[in-house]
């Protein structure tokens, strides 16, 4: 690991100022950054730890039933949170898929998102929760919907000095589910991640969200499939139609782990399965 | 790079040290303090050999910068036994033969201890899944799992 200057600011303003400098990296849980620095794929001149800044960790339920997850909240806490499990099951299921317990005790949800891997396991759950990403900088605060955060693999709309502070999940879905397509039970990266969240009223889908990970340069929402579902009952024919639309929305690559054709086919299959499970949970 | 002051509580003892920020907690434990019970396996977080307990949570110490552990309570394999008596998890590993070459053993024992502290009522399947971040290259998993279940049983019935 190359040497770097280490900072442990106690305010967001100070962290933002330091992070705006050239060759600066933020340190949250360290599970990506420390490994990257050892491999010399990351060679920052300054490392800014966020752990001494108060108020960045923890899960709170607001009066309007929205849930706020601090960016420095450990992935393991998201996985075990009763509120997340109940209202945003897909996110809790995604969190539980990351690495091992030892890694989830270190990794943060903010880090998982800011790293901007298209295969991040918390991203599909946050997409179907319609999460709002709260971002702070020296210029103040702004909010970006999570489906507008990513611009490419490892790339986001964040500008130098901007720091993700929390995720606000506005309204609980009545049923959601996440499936990770993988080979190993644990300690594996997603070939594909699919999440679905559904609200139902008397057998009719009133709201449907589908989030896809690892099948495009960024995580995406399958909006055409969502539109097909809204206002209808989840018949086998509609399920098939929506799953095919989700597969059509993907633009996967072929790599050592999986071919593009297989990925696209599996988006179809897994969208069907997640929708079935989510609608069951929604009471459909 | 200048060394920075860090204060670590390791197995109940306070250590005030000067360390380079790029040193991992694993390197501080092994090279600076001399506690070599914690092992370096893959050093990429995949094998679990470096597992220690920080503020009650099992973590892979190869992924932690030592400087960020300042003020935290760290327990390593050397801190488990008390008053000449082995911890029930250590005892169970001996009784079942839950080790072969022994290199992964400290990591498995620390991960298992944290799991049992959190919930000793896990099923065999749940323990197996929860220990997925620990690798035994001798593949001695059957006896390791026996040891963990035996220790959980022992701790359940005595507390």
**pLDDT tens, position by position, B109-132:** 999 999 999 999 999 999 999 999
Kindly report the three-state secondary structure assignment for every residue of chain B.
Answer: CCCEEEEEEECCEEEEEEECCCCEHHHHHHHHHCCCCCCCCCCCCCCCCCEEEECCEEEEHHHCEHHHHCCCEEECHHHCCECCECCHHHHHHHHHCCCCCCCCHHHHHHHHHHHHHHCCCCCHHHHHHHCCCCCCCCCCHHHHHHHHHHHHHHHHHHC
Res B158 pLDDT > 90: no
- Spans of all domains in chain B: 4-79, 88-158
Q: Output DSSP code: residue A158.
A: P
Q: What does the angle CA A107 – CA B130 – CA A77 come to, to the nearest 5 degrees? A: 35
Quote the CA–CA distance of A6 and A22 in Å, as a whole number.
14
pLDDT at position B11 is 98
Quote the CA–CA distance of A155 and A166 in Å, as a whole number.
18
**Hey, is the C-beta of B65 within 8 angstroms of any chain A C-beta?**
yes
pLDDT at position B84 is 87
More confident residue, A57 or B159: A57
- In chain A, residues with a C-beta closer than 8 Å to the C-beta of B134 are 100
Burial readout B119-134 (b: 16 or more C-beta within 10 A, e: otherwise): ebebeeeebbebbbbb
Residue B80's pLDDT band, with cuts at 50, 70 and 90, is: very high
Kindly report the average pLDDT of chain B as a whole number.
97
pLDDT at position B131 is 98
Quote the CA–CA distance of A277 and A243 in Å, as a whole number.
13
ipTM: 0.97
Quote the CA–CA distance of A39 and B132 in Å, as a whole number.
24
Res B1 pLDDT > 80: no
CB distance A103–B133 less than 8 Å?
yes
Q: Do residues A69 and A59 make contact, with C-beta atoms less than 8 angstroms apart?
A: yes
Residues of chain A with pLDDT under 70: 284
Most distant CA pair in chain A, distance: 61
Quote the CA–CA distance of A228 and A239 in Å, as a whole number.
9
Q: Which of A42, A49, A98, A101 is best to mutate for the B interface (most B CBs within 10 A)?
A: A101
Q: Do residues A127 and A147 make contact, with C-beta atoms less than 8 angstroms apart?
A: yes
CB distance B63–A27 less than 8 Å?
no
Domains of chain A by range and CATH?
5-49 (3.30.43.10), 59-169 (3.30.465.10), 181-281 (3.30.390.50)
Query: Domain B4-79 - what CATH class?
Result: alpha beta
The topology (CATH level 3) of B88-158 is DNA polymerase; domain 1 (1.10.150)
pLDDT at position B152 is 98
Across B72-92, average pLDDT: 96
């Amino acid at each position: 690991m190359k040497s770097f200057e280490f900072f442990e600011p106690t305010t967001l303003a100070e962290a933002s100022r330091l992070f705006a400098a050239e060759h600066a990296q933020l340190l949250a849980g360290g599970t990506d950054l420390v490994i990257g620095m050892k491999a010399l794929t990351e060679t920052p001149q300054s490392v800014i730890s966020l752990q001494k800044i108060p108020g960045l960790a923890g899960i709170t339920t607001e009066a309007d039933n929205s849930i706020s997850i601090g960016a420095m909240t450990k992935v393991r806490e998201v996985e075990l949170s009763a509120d997340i499990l109940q209202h945003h099951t897909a996110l809790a299921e995604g969190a539980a898929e990351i690495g091992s317990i030892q890694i989830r005790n270190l990794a943060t949800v903010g880090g998982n998102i800011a790293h901007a891997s298209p295969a991040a396991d918390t991203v599909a759950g946050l997409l179907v929760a319609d999460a709002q990403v709260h971002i702070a900088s020296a210029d103040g605060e702004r909010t970006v919907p999570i489906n507008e955060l990513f611009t490419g693999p490892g790339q986001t709309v964040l500008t130098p000095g901007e720091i993700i502070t929390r995720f606000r999940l506005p309204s609980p879905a009545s049923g959601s589910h996440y499936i990770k397509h993988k080979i190993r039970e644990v300690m594996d990266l997603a070939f594909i991640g699919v999440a679905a969240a559904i609200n139902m009223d008397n057998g009719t889908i009133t709201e449907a969200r589908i989030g896809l990970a690892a099948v495009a340069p960024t995580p995406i929402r399958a909006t055409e499939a969502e539109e097909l579902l809204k206002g209808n009952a989840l018949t086998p024919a509609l399920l098939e139609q929506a799953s095919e639309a989700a597969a059509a929305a993907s633009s996967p690559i072929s790599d050592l782990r999986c071919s593009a054709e297989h990925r696209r086919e599996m988006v179809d299959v897994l969208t069907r399965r997640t929708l079935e499970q989510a609608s069951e949970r929604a009471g459909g | 790079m200048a060394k920075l002051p860090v204060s670590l509580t390791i197995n109940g003892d306070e250590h005030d040290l000067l360390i380079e920020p790029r040193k991992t907690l694993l390197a501080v434990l092994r090279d600076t303090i001399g506690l070599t019970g914690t092992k370096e396996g893959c050093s990429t977080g995949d094998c679990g050999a470096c597992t220690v307990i920080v503020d009650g949570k099992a973590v892979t110490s190869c992924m932690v910068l030592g400087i960020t552990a300042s003020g935290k309570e760290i327990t390593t394999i050397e801190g488990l036994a008390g008053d000449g008596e082995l911890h029930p998890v250590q005892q169970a590993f001996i009784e079942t033969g839950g080790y072969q070459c022994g290199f992964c053993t400290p990591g498995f024992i620390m991960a298992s201890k944290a799991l049992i502290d959190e919930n000793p009522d896990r099923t065999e399947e749940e323990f197996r899944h929860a220990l997925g971040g620990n690798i035994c290259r001798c593949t001695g998993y059957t006896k390791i799992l026996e040891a963990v279940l035996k220790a959980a049983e022992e701790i359940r019935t005595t507390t």
